[in-house]
């Protein structure tokens, strides 16, 4: 199993997704399903970019930076 960090460009925003899967193809095929559950309907996907792939070991993590300060 691997953790995948994806950047997804929608028609009105850009999002970051973290998905666990066994293969690149499995993860890419599941993006639309995850988005349709989150947004109650499938948003207009412009582009999907695979940014990082890591083995899903204990302690594996990603740091997601936001554009705002607290």
Domain CATH for 11: 3.10.20
Domain extent for 9: 2-55
Query: Per the domain annotation, does 49 fall within a domain?
Result: yes
Q: What local confidence, expressed as pLDDT, does residue 61 receive?
A: 82
**Within a domain: residue 21?**
yes
Is this prediction's pTM over 0.85?
Answer: no
Q: How many CB atoms lie within 10 A of CB 67?
A: 5
**Does residue 44 lie in a domain region?**
yes
- Residue pair 6/16 in contact by the 8 Å Cβ criterion: yes
Task: Let me know: does 51 contact 62? Beta carbons within 8 Å.
Answer: no
Task: Count structural domains, the chain.
Answer: 1
Tell whether 62 is covered by a domain.
no
Beta bridge partners of 20: 3
**61 secondary structure, DSSP code:** -
pLDDT of amino acid 69? 53
**Residue 60, domain member (yes or no):** no
Predicted confidence at residue 68, as pLDDT, reads 61
Cα dihedral 53/55/60/63 (nearest 10)? 0
Is 63 among the domain residues? no
Q: Per residue of the chain (70 residues), what is the pLDDT tens digit?
A: 999 999 999 999 999 999 999 999 999 999 999 999 998 888 999 999 999 999 999 988 888 877 665 5
């Amino acid at each position: 199993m691997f953790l995948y960090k994806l950047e997804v460009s929608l028609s009105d925003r850009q999002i970051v997704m973290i998905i666990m899967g066994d293969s690149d193809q499995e993860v890419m095929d599941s993006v639309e399903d995850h988005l349709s559950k989150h947004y109650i309907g499938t948003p207009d996907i412009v582009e999907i970019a695979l940014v990082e792939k890591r083995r899903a070991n204990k302690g594996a993590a990603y740091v997601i930076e936001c554009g705002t300060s607290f």
